[in-house]
């Protein structure tokens, strides 16, 4: 009788182990199927198509597993959030090898979002520039797709321009360095890659700074790779209000000069410390580009420059940058410089700038500006010629 009871107990235990083992197998199979389903839904097939079209992409993009991403971000803990945007949320994470990364989690799962996400993966896989955020890999096994890139420690340029601390204010030299680095990166995208890339959303929140204030261009979700014989047309105008090229807005035709216009707005942000859209100005002046143009035309641009710029820069230096910004903001895209020209011009201005040459008397600067502005004339073409004349002196 006792042996019969023992046999039943052993049998029950054995049966429980079989049930537990079968359940674990079922759960693992279910999880594996779910990961496969997510992979397909999150654009995995689209990425494979891109890799088949361009085999060089295969070795450039690491595909992370979902467990790796959960561990890296502490299950996407809210304390790890670096920022939120229209396309998703960015988390700070740490990979098993100790590398600190930024994990971008897409906001929605729909066709348009997936196309942008895979587009960003493909574009960043092709880009290798010290002033462009480096792609590490992606994960398509999770409920929404994830993009893994290098972590840039010092936040966005927007934060540093508009929310400076009392302890630190970016110097003119630093601002010129950042502008030059961004211009060089965009020039690289336009002309140094095998196929031109248009960023299509250049703005100060998409420019990150490292601990040495070196610039890194980020967020390529709406970017486009464009064949040399292709004119890029879109049925939906994409970009950010305040930075958007008015010519593109009217025609829906995006060119490399549209990126130039957006960069011009960033350059004016660096000069003035003003936001692209103001809540304190009215009418057309709410738009920073329009406000800046008006100040140039009315010969009072020195009065809207950031105090640090006035303190550290000479009149000639500041007006050289201002005139370059005016050229970038020309309403006619054909009359704007290329990003390569912009980068070269900014590098020249940087070499001319001597931080020790400080002018602290703003009244004297404004008076000298009024005298110098007489050489401008009234037309936008005079602004350009003034810029070129100063550069040749």
Residues with active-site annotation = 201
The two beta strands, 232-233 and 253-254, are: antiparallel
What is the C-alpha to C-alpha distance for residues 180 and 182, in angstroms, rounded to an integer?
6
**Two structure tokens written together for 147:** 């993009």
**Two structure tokens written together for 157:** 């340029």
Residue reference for tokens 């992979």: 39
Kindly compute the dihedral angle of the four CA atoms of residues 147, 152, 158, 162, in this order, to the nearest 10 degrees.
140
What is the C-alpha to C-alpha distance for residues 319 and 301, in angstroms, rounded to an integer?
9
What is the C-alpha to C-alpha distance for residues 320 and 342, in angstroms, rounded to an integer?
12
Residue reference for tokens 């009359």: 335
Contact residues for 101 (Cβ-Cβ < 8 A; gap 6+): 72, 92, 93, 94, 95, 136, 148, 149, 150, 151
Helix axes 315-328, 256-272, angle to 10 degrees: 150
Q: Give ∠ CA 77-82-87 in degrees, rounded to 5.
A: 95
What is the C-alpha to C-alpha distance for residues 353 and 359, in angstroms, rounded to an integer?
13
Task: Specify the DSSP class assigned to residue 355.
Answer: T
324: number of Cβ within 10 Å: 26
Measured in whole angstroms, the distance separating CA 87 from the mean position of its chain's CA atoms is: 12
**Two structure tokens written together for 15:** 């049966």
CB 161 within 8 A of CB 170: yes
**Two structure tokens written together for 50:** 């891109």
CB 308 within 8 A of CB 300: no
């Amino acid at each position: 009788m006792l042996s019969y009871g023992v046999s039943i107990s052993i049998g029950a235990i054995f049966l429980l182990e079989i049930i537990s083992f079968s359940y674990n197998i079922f759960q693992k199979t279910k999880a594996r199927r779910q990961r496969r389903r997510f992979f397909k839904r999150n654009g995995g097939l689209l990425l494979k198509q891109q890799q088949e079209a361009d085999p060089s992409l295969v070795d450039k993009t690491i595909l992370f597993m979902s467990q790796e991403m959960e561990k890296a971000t502490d299950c996407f803990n809210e304390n790890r959030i670096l920022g939120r945007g229209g396309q998703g949320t960015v988390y700070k994470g740490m990979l098993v090898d100790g590398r600190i990364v930024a994990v971008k989690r897409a906001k929605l799962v729909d066709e348009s979002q997936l196309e942008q996400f895979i587009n960003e993966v493909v574009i960043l896989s092709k880009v290798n520039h010290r002033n462009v955020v480096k792609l590490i890999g992606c994960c398509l096994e999770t409920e929404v797709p994830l993009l893994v890139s290098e972590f840039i420690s010092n936040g966005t340029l927007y934060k540093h321009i508009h929310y400076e601390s009392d302890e630190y204010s970016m110097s003119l030299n630093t601002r010129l360095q950042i502008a030059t680095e961004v211009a060089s990166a965009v020039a690289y995208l336009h002309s140094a890659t095998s196929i031109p890339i248009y960023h299509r959303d250049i703005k100060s929140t998409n420019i990150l700074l490292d601990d040495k204030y070196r610039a890194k261009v980020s967020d390529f979700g709406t970017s486009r790779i464009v064949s040399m014989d292709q004119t890029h047309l879109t049925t939906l105008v994409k970009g950010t209000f305040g930075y958007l090229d008015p010519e593109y807005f009217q025609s829906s035709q995006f060119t490399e000069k549209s990126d130039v216009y957006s960069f011009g707005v960033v350059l004016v942000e660096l000069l003035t410390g003003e936001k692209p859209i103001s809540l304190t100005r009215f009418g057309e002046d709410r738009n920073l580009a329009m406000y800046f143009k008006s100040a140039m035309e009315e010969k009072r641009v020195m009065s809207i420059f950031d105090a640090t710029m006035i303190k550290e820069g000479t009149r000639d230096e500041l007006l050289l940058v201002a005139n370059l910004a005016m050229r970038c903001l020309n309403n006619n895209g054909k009359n704007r410089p290329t990003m390569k020209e912009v980068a070269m011009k900014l590098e020249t201005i940087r070499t001319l700038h001597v931080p020790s040459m400080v002018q602290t008397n703003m009244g004297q600067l404004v008076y000298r500006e009024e005298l110098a502005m007489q050489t401008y004339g009234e037309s936008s073409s005079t602004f350009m010629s003034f810029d070129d004349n100063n550069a040749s002196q």
